[in-house]
Chains A and B, each alone.
Chain A
């Protein structure tokens, strides 16, 4: 093992650049660790704790930037050290700027591409509303990928869009398909006759992928942002999206996805669907979903049910929700339970997809009781600090993504959490989602698989097993490949189920008492 140090006297770079630099250095060949800190006494102590306090670092002062690299070889350490300064000059980015000039403003881009009719806006939230207004002024529909846009701005933007006959998808709209073009985090799904209006990105992805697995495709999928169905926003874009897919000749059935709307908004959505008259499936993930068909609308309780009910209605066949679609589930659950100690009874869900996390929490709560979560309106009262309860964590939430990319792109937080979870003697099941598609990481299963292997190994070292249950949101046509990603997870010891809902039920069946398994065996879908 070799170390190299760079000390830049009185060097001041913003914190984002320092974090980017550390991450870029850690990904270089042969580099085991890279620390990028100011040379304060406390940070020199941290470096000493990590075995990284070189002589040069020891001599640094509080206003010096200290970079310490540990690599497998001296040449590797030196190469990384020599790359540090150029990287820092580019703000820590590990890619050279392209030579082709790019427009610097949205208005400039609109002028350069006069045929464009949609702007995808992904800038920090405090600037996003202004950019969205600029786009609307230019006559563009807007997909507002940014979050942290104020409610007031959202309402104003949506009213403006409606006045101009335009769509304002978002804010915090992660996924959409417009006329077959995937936008944001989106899977490679075929075009078809299902129109989707969704207040949920990963929810939309899950349904579109499960439809694709059944040979069904999407005509348009309109993301509306997580707050659209609230009383304040009034479902403005949900209703506009329903008008769009309702009038679209290529759309035979409409799917609405989200959390339970405000009562008055729910009424408007139901009235709109009745007026449109096309068959519809409503998946509004809440505790009191009244499953069944009334008029043109079939109400379902899970994302998977949305896909299977859609498939059945289009095929003209009866539909019944099923807890599992795989054969031999009972035996697999029994195998998973075999290595558990009596103390192991908890489920920990570490999610990249917010709606998938929400769905799992609902399923686990119905089968196991209270679940701690950082999701809003958690039954256990907010972000869980302790390790004594079932937990579902949305790692894409603000508190986990500050200073780093979303967990669909950057596995760091999830890998850390998996490693931490391995030491819990009460933990029976680790529940995970892996999201594929355009915009997602190149190898998301490969990013977490080593952590899964290490966690199971840690558990075995303590004479217990740790069950890992997962689902993969993806299609065979996705760049990462559904089969290859599933195989990678299974090779690491995970049990991969066909949907998030089934994975959550399997987790509950493994961790819970016999009554849970009995409920599921008799067809209860929770």
Chain B
């Protein structure tokens, strides 16, 4: 059983009365595997938004539930109706049962959900020319935090680290970006995730050559950014990304890549643009 989902259901579960039922339509394959290993564990509703909720497990890791459509995070599950997500309140218990999640007033079944591959496959598939060309035209807009002197320096450090192929420099540069800037997922985290996507896709030596920097960056993320930002970074270190990001990375034609970049840019307030900024930075630095 996965230790992160292994906490036993506590006594609060006996007070949960299901009122509404819904289906999870799609979820990341890694998340599906984790849920399967975690029957009986309990989490809590961490945060509630207009169209999504986050669930936090005992180890601080997150699951995002949002409405139908592409998975906006590798740790996300898409439910059939966004209205289902209006019932849960912060701190409400969430219990993993066979084939379903149980929340106060809500049961979500996941046994028929389609598992979505959110990982960049091995060996690294590389990036099509269409994607590289598209990134030349996108990713120049970004949150103001990334244009602050610290943001500029952190981006320059990341570009330098990628250019050098030095894992230690990559850790240092990542630390400079973590938690930097606007947003619940700070802009620096988004930028770093974008850069990591490129590094995974091309199998960049700074990321894959032992000793790899993943553990050190994950430790820095635990200390330096928000819970949501950390979750994105930890998954990115493992090569797992949102569907809009993967759609862009997999594009093989200019129109397809441009459309994917536009969709990615539209995520969040500046998150999509900040992610594109990271993709572009890594593309240029690696070249």
CB distance from B63 to the nearest CB of A (A): 14
Check B141 for interface membership: any CB of A closer than 8 A: yes
B268 lies within 8 A of A49 (CB): no
CB distance from B39 to the nearest CB of A (A): 28
Picked from B47, B50, B178, B269, the residue with its CB within 8 Å of the CB of A402 is: B269
A126 lies within 8 A of B266 (CB): yes
Check A293 for interface membership: any CB of B closer than 8 A: no
Chain A residue at minimal CB-CB distance from B140: A383
B273 lies within 8 A of A399 (CB): yes
Check A288 for interface membership: any CB of B closer than 8 A: no
Check B181 for interface membership: any CB of A closer than 8 A: yes
A38 lies within 8 A of B179 (CB): yes
A91 lies within 8 A of B50 (CB): yes
Chain B, 40-68, CB within 8 A of any chain A CB: 46-50, 54
A36 CA / B188 CA spacing, docked (Å) = 15
- B262: chain A residues at CB < 8 Å are 125, 148, 398
Check A150 for interface membership: any CB of B closer than 8 A: yes
Check B152 for interface membership: any CB of A closer than 8 A: no
Q: From known contacts A42-B186, A42-B224, infer whether A385 and B268 are also in contact, taking CB-CB under 8 Å.
A: no
5 sampled A-B residue pairs with Cβ under 8 A: A19-B270, A40-B186, A46-B150, A383-B136, A399-B141
B140 lies within 8 A of A14 (CB): no
Check A63 for interface membership: any CB of B closer than 8 A: yes
Picked from B47, B48, B137, B179, the residue with its CB within 8 Å of the CB of A42 is: B179
B47 lies within 8 A of A15 (CB): no
Chain A residue at minimal CB-CB distance from B133: A382
B269 lies within 8 A of A19 (CB): yes
B183 lies within 8 A of A43 (CB): no
Chain A residue at minimal CB-CB distance from B69: A126
A42 lies within 8 A of B178 (CB): yes
Chain A residue at minimal CB-CB distance from B244: A126
B176 lies within 8 A of A18 (CB): no
Chain A proximity mask over B250-274: 1 for CB below 8 Å, otherwise 0: 0000010001001101101111110
Interface residues on chain A, number (Cβ under 8 Å)? 37
A41 lies within 8 A of B269 (CB): no
- B265: chain A residues at CB < 8 Å are 398-399, 402
A383 CA / B141 CA spacing, docked (Å) = 10
CB distance from A378 to the nearest CB of B (A): 9
CB distance from B248 to the nearest CB of A (A): 14
A381 CA / B140 CA spacing, docked (Å) = 14
Q: From known contacts A46-B148, A126-B263, infer whether A15 and B140 are also in contact, taking CB-CB under 8 Å.
A: no
Picked from B50, B148, B224, the residue with its CB within 8 Å of the CB of A14 is: B50
Check B89 for interface membership: any CB of A closer than 8 A: no
Check B149 for interface membership: any CB of A closer than 8 A: yes
Check A423 for interface membership: any CB of B closer than 8 A: no
Chain A, 286-301, CB within 8 A of any chain B CB: none
Picked from B177, B181, B266, the residue with its CB within 8 Å of the CB of A124 is: B266
- A91: chain B residues at CB < 8 Å are 50
Picked from B46, B143, B259, the residue with its CB within 8 Å of the CB of A403 is: B143
B181 lies within 8 A of A43 (CB): yes
A16 CA / B229 CA spacing, docked (Å) = 16
A465 CA / B138 CA spacing, docked (Å) = 33
Check B226 for interface membership: any CB of A closer than 8 A: yes
A15 lies within 8 A of B184 (CB): yes
- A62: chain B residues at CB < 8 Å are 179, 224-227
Chain B residue at minimal CB-CB distance from A64: B226
- B228: chain A residues at CB < 8 Å are 12
A344 CA / B181 CA spacing, docked (Å) = 35
Check B242 for interface membership: any CB of A closer than 8 A: no
Q: How many A-B residue pairs have CB under 8 A?
A: 135
Q: From known contacts A62-B225, A398-B265, A399-B265, infer whether A15 and B182 are also in contact, taking CB-CB under 8 Å.
A: yes
Check B180 for interface membership: any CB of A closer than 8 A: yes
Chain A proximity mask over B214-226: 1 for CB below 8 Å, otherwise 0: 0000000001111
- B165: chain A residues at CB < 8 Å are none
A12 lies within 8 A of B69 (CB): no
- B50: chain A residues at CB < 8 Å are 14, 91
Picked from B47, B149, B255, B273, the residue with its CB within 8 Å of the CB of A12 is: B47
**Beyond known contacts A42-B188, A62-B226: 12 more, CB 8 A cutoff:** A12-B46, A37-B181, A37-B186, A38-B184, A41-B223, A42-B186, A49-B149, A63-B226, A148-B262, A381-B136, A402-B270, A402-B273
Complex A-B, nearest 10 residue pairs according to Cβ-Cβ distance, in ascending order: A40-B179, A399-B141, A12-B47, A15-B269, A15-B183, A42-B180, A403-B269, A42-B179, A16-B269, A402-B273
A151 CA / B254 CA spacing, docked (Å) = 13
Check B145 for interface membership: any CB of A closer than 8 A: yes
Chain A, 73-121, CB within 8 A of any chain B CB: 91
A460 CA / B47 CA spacing, docked (Å) = 52
A385 lies within 8 A of B140 (CB): yes
Q: From known contacts A16-B269, A43-B179, infer whether A402 and B141 are also in contact, taking CB-CB under 8 Å.
A: yes
A46 lies within 8 A of B270 (CB): no
Picked from A43, A125, A399, A402, the residue with its CB within 8 Å of the CB of B186 is: A43
B184 lies within 8 A of A14 (CB): yes
Check A462 for interface membership: any CB of B closer than 8 A: no
A13 lies within 8 A of B180 (CB): no
Picked from A18, A38, A46, A151, the residue with its CB within 8 Å of the CB of B269 is: A18
B269 lies within 8 A of A148 (CB): no
Q: From known contacts A14-B184, A42-B178, A150-B259, infer whether A403 and B270 are also in contact, taking CB-CB under 8 Å.
A: yes
Picked from A19, A36, A37, A45, the residue with its CB within 8 Å of the CB of B150 is: A45
B184 lies within 8 A of A18 (CB): yes
CB distance from A62 to the nearest CB of B (A): 5
Chain B proximity mask over A200-218: 1 for CB below 8 Å, otherwise 0: 0000000000000000000
A15 lies within 8 A of B271 (CB): yes
Chain A, 13-48, CB within 8 A of any chain B CB: 13-16, 18-19, 22, 36-38, 40-43, 45-46
Chain A, 138-184, CB within 8 A of any chain B CB: 148, 150-151
A302 CA / B266 CA spacing, docked (Å) = 33
Chain B, 56-106, CB within 8 A of any chain A CB: 69
B181 lies within 8 A of A46 (CB): yes
Check A502 for interface membership: any CB of B closer than 8 A: no
Chain B residue at minimal CB-CB distance from A20: B269
